[in-house]
Amino acid sequence: MLIAVLLLFALALAAPLIDRAAGRWTGAVLALGPLAAFLIIARWLPDVAAGETITQVHAWADALDIRLSFYLDGLSLMFALLISGIGTLIVFYAGTYLEGDPRRGRFYAWLLIFMASMLGLVLADNIISMFIFWELTSVSSYFLIGYDHHRESARKSALQAMLVTGGGGLALLAGLIMLGVAAGSMEVSQIINEGEVLREHAWYLPIVILVFAGCFTKSAQFPFHFWLPNAMEAPTPVSAYLHSSTMVKAGVYLLARLNPALGATDVWLYTLVIFGGVTMLVGAYLAIRQVYLKKILAYSTVSALGVLVFLTGLSNVDSPEAAQYAGKAFAVFLLAHALYKATLFLVAGTITHETGEKDVTKLGGLRRKMPLTALAAALAGASMAGLPPFFGFLGKELLLDTTVKNPDWMLPLTIAAGVAGFLFVIVALLIAVKPFWGALKETAQHPHEAPFAMWFGPALLGSLSLLFGLFLNPLARPIIEPTASAVMGVPQEVKLALWHGINLPLMISVAAVVLGILAFLGLPIISRILKPFDALNRIGPERGYYALFNGTLKLASFQTRLLQSGYLRVYLFITITMSVGLIGWQILQLDVLPIVDQFREIEVVPFVIENLYTLIVAALILIGTFGAVHSRSRLSAIASLGVVGYGVALIYIIHGAPDLAITQFLIETLTVILFVLVFYHLPQFPRISSVPARVRDLVVSVAAGVMMTVLVLIATNLETEKISDYFAENSYELGQGRNIVNVILVDFRSMDTLGEIVVLVIAAVGVLALLKLKPPREQERKNNPHEADGREEAS
Amino acid sequence: MSSLILRTAIRYLFPIIVLFSIFLLLRGHDEPGGGFIGGLLGATAFALFAIGYSVETSRRMLRFELHQLMGFGLLMATLSGVVGLILGEPFLSSAWIEIPIPGRPEPFKLATYLFFDIGVYLVVLSITLMIVYALAEE
Amino acid sequence: MNWLIISPILLPLVLACIMLLLWRHPVWQRWTALGGMVALVGCGAGLFGVVYVHGVQSEQLAGYGAPFGITFVADLFSSIMVLASAILGTAVTVYSMTNIENRRESFGYYPLLHLLLLGVCGAFLTGDVFNLFVFFEIMLMASFVLLTLGGERGQMEGAIKYVTLNLISSAIFLAAVGILYGMTGTLNMADLSNQVVWIAENRPEELPLLTILAMMFLIAFGVKAAMFPLFFWLPASYHTPPPAVSAIFAALLTKVGVYSMARFFTLIFTHDVGTTHMIILVLAGFGMICGVLGAAAQNEFRRILAFHSVSQIGYMLMGIGLIVMLAHRDDEIAHHAVQMGLAGTIIFVVHHLFVKPNLFLVSGVVERIGGTGELKKLGGFYKTEPLLAIMFLISALSLAGIPPLSGFWAKYILVLAGLQLEQYFIVFIALLTGLLTLYSMVKIWAAAFWTDVPDDSPVHNAAHMAHAKHGIRRMIYPIAVIAVIIVLFGVFAGPIFDVAMEAAAQMLDPSAYIEAVQFEEFSPTLGRGEEADS
Amino acid sequence: MELILAIVIGALYAAGLYLMMRRNLVKLIIGLVLLSQAANLLIFTAAGLRSPNAPLIPPGEKYPVGDFADPLPQALILTAIVIGFGVIAFTLVLFHRAYQSTGTDDLDQMKATDT
């Protein structure tokens, strides 16, 4: 299975080159890739139909429990076949659809990356590799949706899809990790047997919520459904692919996949039934409120996803019969929907491609111009509307069977399913009948029958809708049965039949079809009645998305203006406050009384006499410091600085550090000279800080000063053995010198000195560069002050 | 501005300061002093020339380009450490040759740390002058 | 061994000297610099290989034993950092040949680049606290000069903030070293580690003093690492120098801070993880969210990238902060998860060391062709420079943590460790930050790559394009090489994780580090013993 | 004795930090210089003031005689002073150039590179 996935990835990388080489045959050539993948997967169909599962493991990051392992059972087989099968037709179709577009090569690259990721997603056994593919589908769909990236709406929709599904994806990541940790394995094939453990685990609820967050966003469940219709900015082949069998079904896939492990609890059941049910109805309602072909299909997709989630939930009901029906219905509806939805999207694409018109109300009578397309549409439409003997009929029957057989909540659920069925009929008529029947309407382009590549796919898929319905047991059962088994977690025996006798579901079906046709005929009137309710959209979830989006941006710029204000003094204030806070907090944890006590014993007069020199020098330094702070003239501030520096040098002399003292004297002198040289022509200090600012800064700096004083006292108060005796003892013998400080500098710790002169070298290079290397503009202005003035521009 | 007296004084002071700076450099290992202090003092001598005459004169007095002097000094300090490496000791290990001086009981030790300190001296001398010259020309 | 462990500092130092001697020949400096960087990669690889095979290595500079002489220690983390820095340095050197104009080249750009590497590698390898200070200063000074080289007004303004805040941090660092010496009487890191254990056993009443020291080092390294709320210098300055310089800064400067923090808070300050590491964890969380929001508020290519770093530093610190759980749990799972968290930090540091600079390098190409970094005035690069677009995408998506690129693994490991340690809040923030990161990367993509070329763009000017395209290959190739590294990082995530786990194990159990250091027995006699003998 | 120096160090830190938080470039750098003086003095004091005698070995001896000051902090401070000098020299010139290119010494006017 790895080969199938890697093949598609490799093909994606080669696609731009193949596009250049193969010209108009690109679609056909590239379609061989997914076709090969289809065949590779289909090879296992007999085994899976016989109830086996296949596992393959390839090493990746085993220490992290991440493997490229694959797991093939009914569910993954079904999805893999749809992905590669429909993928083949889409690739073929797109070659013609995008004929002459210079971006086609890149388009194929993204499409094939998407296809490979999708295939990897459904085949993966390891949940983290599954997540990796999951994220790749989000990313590659961003580029597919944003194909027409010169349009702002396309960019916006792509971003929206990515943020919504990406956000859910991150929740899912946390959920999957917790799932893996809780189940003790990262492999789906193990996890599905750990249902007992998981349901008892303390993390069960968080896991379920996080998985829901991931799946509902990906599968466009209400209230996250809004990104899906917006994603119709994509070229039609992409829409057909993403929304019939792939991207949006990923969430459904994962829910079904984890159904045996996480299901059978109230929270699982009710959440899925409620969200699925609401989505089913909201989607279908919104679908009939649209006029653009692809928007109608998009909302009907939302609705269909709702149905699938609804059925996943119902497969956990107490009534075993209803649960079994739900599993079967899930499998059948999944397949039926994929077939008819892909067809209808492609038909919609063909219509728009040929006529240049997207608005369904402005289309009509195309059946004569495009008979094959019309036929494909009719087949798929019939399946969608649920007419016998089409496969879609079975899907709808089983859905109704499930709700009818389930004793709890029978009435509301059945009504919901029935209403959804009724709305589906309208949608099917809108897409499959409205553009083709009635009088031919004038359109921007003169329509012709589509080229072979563009009618072949829809026609094939449409026919399959019929064939599967006609040959239920030989054709559909081998795949439906294992799929239902995988969803239920236990092997199922599935018998499929169109005719169940005259029962409630059938009657509801018939009613839905009849009412649907009537409503379709009266649609203009109904639309007028429903129009006022469109205002509700304004308070819909999409508004929430934008509110959140813009709110985040506002918050971002607010906090950034607050923190990164541009005022250095604020930065310093925060930094110093932070330091005083953290260090001071720890000091306050200490018992500093012993230190204070020690100083209480000091007698003033002997102390002063003993430390007279130090005291005098200290006073000198303090005066200098005060002068530096308080002085209003630059020169006296610099002089005060000199006083401080010389004072420090005196301290070094008093305390036995002649080398330090000499160095300090020299450096201080040099520093003062540099100060005078550099700041000679600056203005006087104005007092520009406000009084509160000064008081605030003073408080913080004094606190910092006190803190440092305490720290020094603490450090000097400790009795510690120091390493320095070593230097004294070995200075002459090992270091050959009698000045121990110098021996440390050039021998014991010569690396420090080497580093020190490197700093000096860099500083000198820096000074030179600063003074000699000025931006060309400034240099020019300096050379000819008059000419350059006018040319100065803001950089 | 630069009077004749100043210039004359500088002419006489210059060799004295330079010699004294080298003296400080060499005795640094045993008494207060060393490459850094010596280098600063050496730079003062040349800086005086820049004040009394001009930066150009001072540069000419130096004969070497400052970058090269700086690079050479740093290289010298570094290579004095490499000697240890070549002898199979760790980087910066000191090594020396003893040169017997007739008439003195102790031989003169030509040690790597001397070259290290000379390197420091050259670097300090050149970077100080580089900064001073650049500012003076500004 | 003598040569190998010292080579990452010796090589740049000697080459910098040679380049100073070649001051008037910038073109020769170029090739010297490139040769030096390539050789440095070789040294780094050799060092990594030796450490990987034979374990932690050390060297006592000047031949004096620890704790008296200066120790150089290479463990897995430090040798990985040296190797990664050297690879990036090589890429940036090639890129600089086109990106750095002649006027900058002739004022010592290449020697400065090497001296920056010298400071960085020295900081990775030294095992002495004061020596670390010295290497920090070398790195800082080199970065000051590289930041201001060229003298543009923006550079000056950014540099004032950068210099001032970093000097504050240096002053705190120096004070911390002074107090550390006063309290413990030693400067050697391995010796300090022993001392902390000794104090905990014999004089537990002095442990709070160590916590105070830990806070001082936390602040000092926090500023260098651009930890929340000490990061202001970074967004103010990173976008002002030429992109090559931005790139090398983004790669190395903050990493040294993070590295030092990781080193100190695993080797030395482990006496009260409940306090110290909790603070790190909280600040990491704030950093993540503030940084990414800051990036979302920016509208210029490099400003977005710069602000982003703050949030990624948060991720790196998260792995260190997770050690806090050792104060509450002592089971095997917790120990394994803590190790994994630290491995996550290591992987994140290395990942970021390639990805962020690569984005800066892309921004340089975009600015060169588009004439500006402002997103509003850019466009059309997807169409005109598809290869550049792909390389941007690889880096940007990796930064946003999209699998299977490097960033995903770093994030995944941290999230996994965080969940196992039941630190849900920080995990939530980490994931949310990932989404916002994705947003701001996509924002750059949509504006600079997807939109049409604006009408007033200099792209329409043939003369400008001829100039911009001249030598642009030397800018593209390094980007491509790093992009390949990022992809390979994802492909070989397994082995990389194994190495990172081993590196984390070395850090969490410092005995290997301490054993590698060659201590010297010494009991002070000051010649009195000899006198007594005679 | 340590008490006196500890107070001096505290005062230097306080003054340095206060000056840095002003709006004026020159004050900023004066503050920086005070800060580095304070840090040097802090190392000197925190290491302990053992003796007023310099750590020198008298000629003819192999070890220092009697009490002597701790040589290691002196070596560290020497390195720190020199590094500090390099940094201050560079910073001075940087501020000078910043003044030239912005035309003001008011730090509040230099916020173009932030948000």
Return the partners of chain C (3 or more C-beta pairs < 8 Å). A, B, D
Cβ distance A385 to A513 under 8 Å?
Answer: yes
**Distance to chain D for A647, nearest Cα, Å:** 10
What pLDDT score was predicted for residue A683? 67
For residues C161 and C145, the answer to whether their CB atoms sit within 8 Å is no
**Inter-CA distances, D19 with A468, A563, A680, A689, D33, Å:** 85, 22, 19, 11, 10
Smallest CA-to-CA distance from C381 within C322, C441, C459, C304 is with C459
Cβ–Cβ under 8 Å, residues C312 and C350: no
pLDDT digits (tens, 9 = 90+) for A257-269: 999 999 889 999 9
Residues A139 and A273 in one domain: no
Q: Does the pLDDT of residue A305 top 80, yes or no?
A: yes
Is D89 close to B131, i.e. CB distance below 8 A? yes
Mean pLDDT of A536-549: 82
Using beta carbons and an 8 Å cutoff, which residues of D are at the interface with C? 20, 25, 28, 32, 35-36, 38-40, 42-44, 46-48, 62-64, 72-73, 76, 79-80, 83, 86-87, 90-91, 94-95, 97-98, 101-102, 107, 110-115
Nearest CA in chain C to D79: C134
Q: Name the DSSP letter for residue C446.
A: I
Between positions 67 and 86 of B, the ones with CB within 8 A of D are none
Neighbour subunits, A (≥3 Cβ pairs < 8 A):
B, C, D
Confidence (pLDDT) at C388: 93
Contacts of A754 in chain C (CB under 8 A): 13
Compute the average pLDDT of residues A508-525: 89
The two three-digit tokens of residue C454, written as one number: 């604006």
Tens digit of each residue's pLDDT (9 = 90 or more) over C410-437:
999 999 999 999 999 999 999 999 999 9
The shortest CB-CB distance from D10 to any of A568, A706, A766 is to A706
pLDDT at A785 over 70: no
Residue A793 identity: E
- A282/A150 same-domain check: no
Task: Kindly indicate the confidence band of residue A80, based on its pLDDT and cuts at 50, 70 and 90.
Answer: very high
Question: What are A721-724's contacts with CB under 8 Å, separation 24+?
Answer: A721/C185, A722/C181, A722/C185, A722/C186, A722/D47, A722/D48, A722/D70, A722/D72, A723/C67, A723/C68, A723/C185, A723/C186, A723/C187, A723/C188, A723/D72, A724/C185, A724/D70, A724/D71, A724/D72, A724/D73
pLDDT over 50 at C348, yes or no: yes
- The type of residue at A207 is I
- Which of the four pLDDT bands, split at 50, 70 and 90, describes residue A58? very high
The reply to whether residue D79 touches residue A745, judged by beta carbons under 8 angstroms, is yes
3-class DSSP string for C67-92: CCCCEEEECHHHHHHHHHHHHHHHHH
Which of A60, A167, A177 has the CB atom closest to C493's CB atom?
A60
C236 closest CB neighbour out of D44, D102, D114:
D114
Average pLDDT over residues A25-31: 90
Which helix (H) or strand (E) segment holds residue A785: the answer is: helix A785-789
Name the β-bridge partners of A260.
none
Identify which of B31, B32, B36 has the shortest CB distance to residue D82.
B36
Cα within 13 Å of Cα(C212), Cβ side: 26
Inside any domain, residue C405: yes
8 A C-beta contact, residue D69 and residue A657: yes
Summarised one tens digit per residue, pLDDT across range D43-87 is 999 988 878 888 888 888 888 888 888 999 999 999 999 999 999
DSSP per residue, B23-48: HHHHHTTTSS--HHHHHHHHHHHHHH
Peptide bond into B107 cis (omega under 30): no
Inter-chain touch B68–C13, beta carbons under 8 Å: no
User: A532: cis peptide before it, omega within 30°?
Assistant: no
* pLDDT tens digits for range A238-247: 998 988 778 8
Q: Mutating which of D56, D57, D85 best tests the B interface, going by the most B Cβ atoms within 10 A?
A: D85
Q: Which domain holds residue A95?
A: 1-262
Lowest mean pLDDT among A37-41, A496-500, C525-529: C525-529
A381, A251: one domain = no
Rounded CA separation D17/C391 (Å)? 45
- In this structure, of A723-737, C45-59, C209-223, the range with the lowest mean pLDDT score is A723-737
CB C396, CB A142: distance < 8 Å = no
Spatial separation of the C-alpha atoms in residues C215 and C232, rounded to whole Å:
19
Chain D hits for B135, CB-CB cut-off 8 Å, are 93
* Angle (CA) B111 B112 B113, round 5°: 90
Q: State how far residue C320 is from chain A, nearest Cα, in angstroms.
A: 18
Q: What is the mean pLDDT of chain A?
A: 88
C167 touches D: beta carbon within 8 Å? yes
Shortest Cα–Cα distance, A158 to chain D (Å)? 28
Residue bearing the bigger pLDDT, C459 or C92: C92
Give pLDDT, residue A687. 66
Q: Do B32 and D54 touch (CB under 8 A)?
A: yes
| A762 contacts in chain B (CB < 8 Å) | none
- For the ranges A414-418, A499-503, A515-519, C183-187, the lowest mean pLDDT is seen at A499-503
CA distance B4 to A574: 56
Enumerate chain C positions whose Cβ falls within 8 A of a Cβ in B.
2-3, 6, 10, 13-14, 16-21, 23, 59-63
A80 domain residue, yes or no? yes
Q: How far apart are CA C82 and CA C88, in angstroms?
A: 10
DSSP state, residue A54:
E
CB < 8 Å to C18, chain B: 71, 75
Cβ–Cβ below 8 Å for A754 and B78:
yes
Q: Is C48 exposed, middle or buried (0-12, 13-18, 19+ CB in 10 A)?
A: buried
Q: How far apart are CA A508 and CA A598, in angstroms?
A: 96
Mean pLDDT per 10-residue interval, chain B, length 138 residues: 76 90 87 88 88 85 88 94 88 84 75 90 94 86
pLDDT at A689 over 90: no
Q: Which chain C residue's Cα is nearest to B68?
A: C21
pLDDT score of A781: 66
A242, A442, A453, A416: which is closest to A356 by C-alpha?
Answer: A442
A767 in contact with chain B, both atoms CB, cutoff 8 A: yes
Highest mean pLDDT among A485-494, A565-574, A786-795: A565-574
User: pLDDT tens across C353-384, in order?
Assistant: 999 999 999 999 999 999 888 999 998 899 88
Stronger pLDDT, C85 or A718, i.e. the higher one: C85
Does the structure show a pLDDT above 90 at C291?
Answer: yes
Q: Which amino acid is at D75?
A: A
Q: Which of D39, D101, D111 is nearest residue C175 as measured by Cβ atoms?
A: D39
Q: Which residues of C touch B93 (CB under 8 A)?
A: 62-63
Do residues A352 and A293 make contact, with C-beta atoms less than 8 angstroms apart? yes
Nearest to A149 among C148, C236, C382 (CB): C382
Q: Chain D partners of A577 at a C-beta cutoff of 8 Å?
A: none
B/e letters for B82-121, b = 16+ CB within 10 Å, e = fewer, are bbbbeeebbbbbbeeeeeeeeeeeeeeeebbbbbbbbbbb
Number of independent structural domains in chain B: 1
3-state helix, strand and coil shares in percent for chain B, rounded to the nearest 5: 70, 5, 25
Residues A298 and A255 placed together within one structural domain of the fold? no
| Closest B-chain CA to A677 | B135
pLDDT of amino acid B1:
47
Neighbors of chain B with 3 or more C-beta pairs under 8 Å: A, C, D
- Minimal CA separation from B107 to chain C, in Å: 23
User: Which residues in chain D are contacts of A712 at CB distance < 8 A?
Assistant: 2, 5-6, 9-10, 42, 45-46
C238 neighbors D113 (Cβ within 8 angstroms)? no
Chain D neighbors of A634, CB-CB under 8 A: 26
Q: Is the pLDDT assigned to residue C534 strictly greater than 70?
A: no
Asked if pLDDT for residue C178 goes beyond 60, the answer is yes
Handedness of CA C33, C34, C35, C36 (dihedral sign): positive
Query: If you average pLDDT over residues C262-276, what whole number do you get?
Result: 93
The mean pLDDT value for D33-52 works out to 90
Contact at CB, C179 and D42, closer than 8 angstroms: yes
Q: What pLDDT, on the 0 to 100 scale, is given for residue A597?
A: 76
Domain containing C306 equals 272-505
Residue of chain D whose Cα is closest to the Cα of B29: D56
Calculate the average pLDDT of chain C. Answer: 92
Instruction: Using a pLDDT cut of 90, give the percent of chain C over it.
Output: 81
- The answer, for A371 touching chain B at a CB cutoff of 8 Å, is no
Q: Is the pLDDT of residue C459 over 70?
A: yes
List CB contacts (< 8 A) between B28 and chain D: none
Look at residue A634 in the predicted model and tell me its pLDDT: 82
The string of DSSP letters for A519-536 reads HHHTHHHHHHHHGGGGGG
The Cα A583–Cα C220 span in angstroms is 12
Peptide bond into C357 cis (omega under 30): no
The pLDDT of residue C1 is 58
Confidence of residue A538 (pLDDT cuts 50, 70, 90): low
**Interchain contact, B74 vs A670, CB within 8 Å:** no
- Whole-Å CA distances, A114 to A8, A236, C55: 9, 15, 44
Interatomic CA distance for residues A404 and A198, integer angstroms: 31
Which of the residue ranges A286-295, A581-590, C253-262 has the most confident prediction, judged by mean pLDDT? C253-262
pLDDT of residue C314: 95
- Position A459 in a domain: yes
Above 0.90 for ipTM, yes or no? yes
Token look-up 């003074």 returns A771
Give the mutation candidate from A172, A583, A714 for the C interface (greatest C CB count, under 10 A): A583
The number of angstroms, rounded, from the C-alpha of C163 to the middle of its chain's C-alpha atoms is: 18
Q: Which residues of B touch D54 (CB under 8 A)?
A: 32
Average pLDDT, chain D: 89
pLDDT, position A791:
38
Q: Are B76 and B115 in contact (CB under 8 A)?
A: yes
How many domains are contained in chain C?
A: 1
Cβ(C122)–Cβ(C9) under 8 Å?
yes
Q: Which residues pair with A71 in a beta bridge?
A: A55
Is residue C110 situated within a structural domain? Answer: no
Same domain, A252 and A297: no
Q: Helical H runs in A435-563?
A: 452-470, 477-488, 504-521, 523-530, 541-563
pLDDT value of residue C279: 96
The stretch A195-210 carries a mean pLDDT of: 93
Q: Please give the radius of gyration of chain B, using alpha carbons only, rounded to the nearest integer.
A: 17
What pLDDT does D114 receive?
A: 77
Of A476, A498, A521, the position where a domain reaches its end is A521
Q: What is the rounded CA–CA span in Å between residue C174 and residue D39?
A: 6
Q: Per residue in A209-221, pLDDT tens?
A: 999 999 999 999 9
Determine contact, residues D38/D9, Cβ cutoff 8 Å. Answer: yes
Strands B96-99 and A66-72: unpaired
User: Considering only CB atoms, which chain B residues are within 8 Å of A748?
Assistant: none
Which pLDDT tens digit goes with each residue over A104-139? 899 999 999 999 999 999 999 999 999 999 999 999
Contact D93 B135 (CB under 8 A): yes
Q: What is the gyration radius of the CA atoms in chain D, in angstroms?
A: 19
Q: Is the pLDDT reported for residue C528 higher than 60?
A: no
The stretch A440-446 carries a mean pLDDT of 80
Measured from the Cβ of residue C376, the count of other Cβ atoms closer than 10 Å reads: 12
| pLDDT tens per residue across span A321-344 | 888 899 999 999 999 999 999 999
A729 domain-assigned:
no
pLDDT of residue A788: 38
Q: Could you confirm whether domain D2-58+67-109 is CATH 2.40.50.140?
A: no
Domain that includes residue B53, residue range: 4-137
Q: Which of A406-420, B49-63, C235-249 ranks highest by mean pLDDT? A: C235-249
Number of domains present in the structure of chain A:
3
